[in-house]
Amino acid sequence: MTTLLALPYWQETGIKLGLALAVIPTTSLILVYLFLFKMMAFMQSRLGPNDTGPYGTLQLIAEAIKFLQKEDIHPEQADRRVFRMAPVVVLASTFLLYVVLPAGPDAVVENLDTGVFYAMAVSSLSVLGILMAGWASANKYALLGGLRAAGQLIAYELPLILAVMGVVIQAETLNLQGIVEAQATGEIFGFGAIGNPFILTQFLAFLIFMIAAQAELTQTPFDMPVAETELVGGFHIEYTGFRFLLFFMAEFGTAFAFAALASVMFLGGWWIPGFDVDDNILNVLGPGVMLAKILLVAFFIFWVRFTYPRLREDQLQKFAWKVLIPLSLANIVLTGIFKVVF
Amino acid sequence: MTDETTTEETPLADDKRERLLNDLSESFGEILVESHLRPHEDVWFRVKIEAWQDAAMVAKGAGFEYFGFLSAIDWHIAPEGRYEDTEFDAGLVEEDDEPVEIDSSTGYGGGDTRFQMLMQLYSLNEQVGMILKADVGDDMTVDTVRDVFPGADWHERETHEMFGISFRGHPTLQPLYLPTEFEGHPLRKDFPLLARQVKPWPGVVDIEEIPEHLEAQLEAEVMAAFEANEGGS
Amino acid sequence: MTATSDREQMAYVSAQAADARVNVELDTGDMTLNIGPQHPATHGTLRIACQLDGEQVVVAEPIMGYMHRGYEKLCEVRTYPQCTTLINRIDWLGSFANEVPFILAAERLMEVEAPPRAQWIRTILFELSRIANVALFLGDMGVQIGALTPVFFAFRDRERVLNQIEEVTGGRFHPNFDRIGGLKDDIPKGWIEETRSVMVKMRTFCDEMEDLLVGNEIFQARCRGVGVIPPEVALGYGLSGANLRASGVDWDLRRDANPGLSWDQVDWRVWTHPDGDSFSRYWVRLQETREATRIVDQLLDGIPSGPIMAKVPRIIKVPAGEAYISTENPLGEMGYYIVSKGDLGPFRVKIRTPSFNNISIVPWVMRGVYVPDVITILGSLYFILGDIDR
């Protein structure tokens, strides 16, 4: 690994932290604008925001200001400390996810050797925050939403991890950079020009990963915990203003992070065919490539979200335990066999 | 698709309903007080109040198994809230001691008391509707028909709060619409419509009688317009 | 389908008994959850007090009256033509259809019959308000179950129908157009052609809904076998409209007890479904909307010429008597029992609204279902709050 500037460790960390902190609001804003405002409006034959700024781009700023202006309300019976902490915990899980997301050979906050393991671990931290929010709100809807979320996130954590196992077996590493490298240097029956994006060999795992990610993000077929028409928002029903904005940002930030994980593990990550894996130029081009791939994956996530009705809680659990987990286990077995045979 | 009701000159004879009327009168037997038939419309029966539940069962047995609604009529002729008497409304006249004036002479199936039960049922096979009536006695209590037609549950609750009629055997006669602390029975004729007492109904102006000398002229205009329309389009 | 719910309910009861034995020491009390009065699924201010055991509903009791306006009392102090203004606001999505049975009842007492042209236009407007009303349901059911998109399509296409109603009556929501003896006005020029093209669009809309929802596996999983109402129960509770026909009862007032509109002049059919679950209620409504567009098409072809008002006195006094007329409104059977004493206004009006009876089955049908099913069942029973509370 080469570095352009030799900086002391603390300076480097400072810059990386600052970048990561700036990236989360930006990425969630991009998703909100592109998909929630524009794509959703287009699908539903509406106009979407179009008055504030060119194509309504400034609408986001207006929304953010609106949220900041709102009064910060606590329910009278709420457990105040927990109530205030909950959105921070949820957002922290998103922040921690960003630490290992690579956007270039060196463009990564921390290149952990157990990157996949780490990402899966911190992504499930958000359950804690959601449960805290559901319990502390002193609201029955919130409680139901929190419990549903806990049940659902745990159930879908398993297929998510098991799906990733297939990739890990094939790449023989838990390091996300290593997975990108494995895809870049891989060959498809001796044809190596585009590497070997794991979506080809691990298509089943990709599907399971996407479905489970949809559930982890509580997006629509699996949005029972927030179900607007039923639990009226579920665990974040009592949150207003800035605290709600934190939940909102965490939701979209995590969506971005999961799309990034999917593109790293299945779509080849930041690597561009024709370049060396540790070519320095990829530190500049890589983020662009990643963004394109992430938006593509996110498009599918949101497409499904705007199209499907939601599953019932019991159906959702059945689907996880009876369909996704056996399938992902089968995938691991198959991958293992192929790994040994070839 | 029957077109019996839309033909211009409906013959007065209506065999189906007459046959039904006779059959049902027989089944009701002693409990029937009076019946009425308007050809090609519903059939009216008035039964004894003690047999209200039995009548419902007999009707159900005769094929009238589709429950329409259940309610009551207050035949008390009360001046409150009537459009002609806005002056009265404004004045809040006390007339508690006067006997209640009842006029149910215009009701089909007749009636003797102030309150009358009303239930509508359909026979899906015969495609005929039936109105069942019963005079409510002084004890203001009727047997519930909730066990015969479960849908009557809410209708009886509504009738209870609106008219003050109790239903024997109904487990939850709590108010359906009104707040728990509400006093009075709004659909009784002697329940004053407060809005009218605060402010006379402005709509009265709309139906003011046309002056005598203009009536003939206006009528002629309307008829001319009508005939012009009939010729055209 | 029926078997599922029976079996589930039996299983539920035995599970309850088992739980009770286990929970002697560990008391898992039921939780009371108030769905509403302000809740997106209640289309207004209906409140459903649910006793929950975990996610399962033990008892669900609707509590209403938050919007009770006392129309039966108010009608008693108004003249007949003034009543239609109130009546418009009962089922506010299909207003024109509300006026018709009241006017027909008054006409029957007066022994007046509207001219054929008025009857045809009445029937057309009646069916248009049915389409406008049910189209919203077709989209809204999706939202209840979590699919956001269909309702926007419904609002988009419903607007076209409302425009057509507005062109004739001058009112989008509350036309107040029906008069004793006929209609206020004739239809404007070019309206027939426009309506025809709107009907084509509405059929496309129905196809879209079929693609988006009916064929969707998740939609089916959420709706099939949920909220099963057997026919005999439906009759006992006085369910009407599509709710009754979805239980397999072949009963449509338009065909079986036509009170004097032009449905018998056209060729159409009554749709029923044997299952009686939420899905069949949706399906029947979808087919009925299609059928309604066909009825309108046929009626548009054959509007007779002639006057649109019968000869009625300027000041309407309805002779003494009683009449009950009900029609097959978008939500179900809506009827008016009018007691007249020969005055300018009715002596007593009993308004039989479809939603009141349709919702009264809620405590029966919601035993032992899951909380999400409460929303599915409420959505599929399709009520309008003004129609319950009057």
How far off is chain C from B191, nearest CA to CA, in Å?
Answer: 10
Asked, for residue B233, whether it belongs to a domain, the answer is no
Nearest CA among A308, A171, A43, A67 for reference residue C152: A43
Interval C74-112: pLDDT, tens: 888 778 888 888 888 888 888 888 888 888 888 888 888
Q: What is the mean pLDDT of residues B184-207?
A: 69
Whether ipTM exceeds 0.95: no
The answer to whether the Cβ–Cβ distance between C77 and B83 falls below 8 Å is yes
Long-range pairs for B204-212 at CB < 8 Å and ≥24 separation? Answer: B204/B83, B204/B86, B206/C79, B206/C82, B207/B83, B207/C79, B207/C315, B207/C344, B209/C315, B210/C314, B210/C315
Q: What's the rounded Cα separation, in Å, for the pair A133 and A151?
A: 15
Residue A102 lies in a domain: yes
Q: Which residue has the tokens 């992504």?
A: A123
Mean pLDDT score of chain C: 83
pLDDT for residue A1 is more than 80: no
Residue A52 has pLDDT above 70, yes or no: yes
Residue A30 lies in a domain: no
Nearest Cα of chain A lies from the Cα of C32 at a distance, in angstroms, of 9
Residue in B3, B127, B179 nearest the CB of C256: B127
Predicted pLDDT at C19: 57
Give the CATH H-level superfamily of domain C71-360: Cytochrome-c3 Hydrogenase, chain B (1.10.645.10)
Within 8 A of A308 by CB-CB distance, chain C residues are 146-147, 216, 218
Structure confidence at residue C12 as a pLDDT band (50, 70, 90)? low
| Per-residue model confidence as pLDDT tens digits over C133-184 | 898 888 888 888 888 888 888 888 888 889 988 888 888 888 888 888 888 8
Q: pLDDT tens digit string along A288-298?
A: 888 888 888 98
Q: With an 8 Å CB cutoff and a minimum of 3 pairs, decide whether chains C and B touch.
A: yes
b/e C355-390 (16+ beta carbons within 10 angstroms → b)? bbbbbbbbbebbebbbbbbbbbbbbbbbbbbbbbbb
What's the one-letter identity of residue B111?
G
C372–A313 CB contact, under 8 Å: yes
Q: Hunting for tokens 């019959």 — which residue is that?
A: C113
Mean pLDDT check: name the lowest of A91-95, A117-121, C340-344: C340-344
Assigned domain for B221 exists: no
Q: pLDDT at residue B90 above 60?
A: no
Q: Does C233 touch chain A (CB under 8 A)?
A: no
Nearest to C99 by CA among C182, C176, C169: C176
What pLDDT does residue B103 have? 66
Q: pLDDT by residue (tens digit) across C233-244?
A: 888 888 888 888
DSSP string computed for A273-322: TTS-TT-TTHHHHHHHHHHHHHHHHHHHHHHHHHH--PPPHHHHHHIIII
Q: Is B28 helix (H, G, I), strand (E, B) or coil?
A: helix
Which residue has tokens 């077996």?
A169
Average pLDDT over chain A reads 83
Mean pLDDT of B160-178: 84
CATH number at residue B70: 3.30.460.80
**C-alpha to C-alpha distance for B45 and B108, rounded to whole angstroms:** 9
Proportion of chain B above pLDDT 90, given as a percent: 0
Confidence band for B106, pLDDT divided at 50, 70 and 90: low
Which of A249-258, B189-198, C33-42, C75-84 is predicted least confidently? B189-198
B65 occurs within a structural domain: yes
Spatial separation of the C-alpha atoms in residues B39 and B179, rounded to whole Å: 42
> What's the whole-number mean pLDDT along residues A163-183?
85
> Cβ of C124 under 8 Å from any chain B Cβ?
no
Q: What is the pLDDT of residues A308-329, one digit of tens each?
A: 888 888 888 888 888 888 998 8
Which of C59, C71, C72, C73 to probe by mutation at the B interface, max B CB count within 10 Å? Answer: C73
Q: Which residue, among C28, C32, C145, would best test binding to A if mutated, counting the most A CBs under 10 Å from its CB?
A: C145
Q: Does C219 touch chain A (CB under 8 A)?
A: yes
Query: Per the domain annotation, does B47 fall within a domain?
Result: yes
Mutate to test the interface with A, among C8, C46, C148 (most CBs of A within 10 A): C148
Q: Does C11 reach chain A within 8 Å, measured CB to CB?
A: no
Selected residue with higher pLDDT from A164 and A12: A164
- Please answer whether residues C326 and C377 qualify as being in contact, where contact means their C-beta atoms are separated by less than 8 angstroms: no
Q: Which of B65, B68, B106 comes nearest C321 by C-beta?
A: B106
Which of C61, C77, C240 to substitute to test the interface with B, most B CBs within 10 Å?
C77
Q: Which residue has the higher pLDDT, A184 or B199?
A: A184
Widest Cα–Cα separation across chain A: 67
What crossing angle do the helices spanning A140-171 and A126-136 adopt, rounded to 10°?
180
At B147 the three-state DSSP class reads coil
Q: Which helix (H) or strand (E) holds C318?
A: none
- Is A303's Cβ below 8 Å from some Cβ in C? no
B8, part of any domain: no
| Residues C156, A45 contacting (CB under 8 angstroms) | yes
DSSP SS3 for C31: strand
Closest CB from B5, B179, B186 relative to C73 = B186
- A142-166 mean pLDDT: 86
Are A and C touching by the rule of 3+ CB pairs within 8 Å? yes
> CB neighbours of A83 closer than 8 A, spacing ≥ 6?
A74, A75, A132, A133, A136, A137, A238
Predicted local confidence at residue B1, as pLDDT? 37
Q: Which of B52, B13, B62 is nearest to B167 (CA)?
A: B52
The Cα–Cα gap between C258 and C244 comes to 18
B162: containing domain: 15-202
Domain containing residue A140: 72-341
- The C residues from 229 to 258 touching B (CB cutoff 8 Å) are 232-233, 235-239, 249, 251, 255-258
Name the domain count of chain A: 1
pLDDT of residue B114: 80
- Write out pLDDT tens, residues C236-275: 888 888 888 888 888 888 888 777 788 888 888 888 888 8
Which is more confident, A256 or B1?
A: A256
* Residue extents of the structural domains in chain C: 71-360
Count structural domains, chain B: 1
Helices (H), strands (E): how many in chain A? 15, 0
| Residue A7, number of CB atoms within 10 A of its CB | 12
CB contacts, 8 Å: C31 with chain A: 140
By C-alpha distance, the chain C residue nearest A220 is: C146
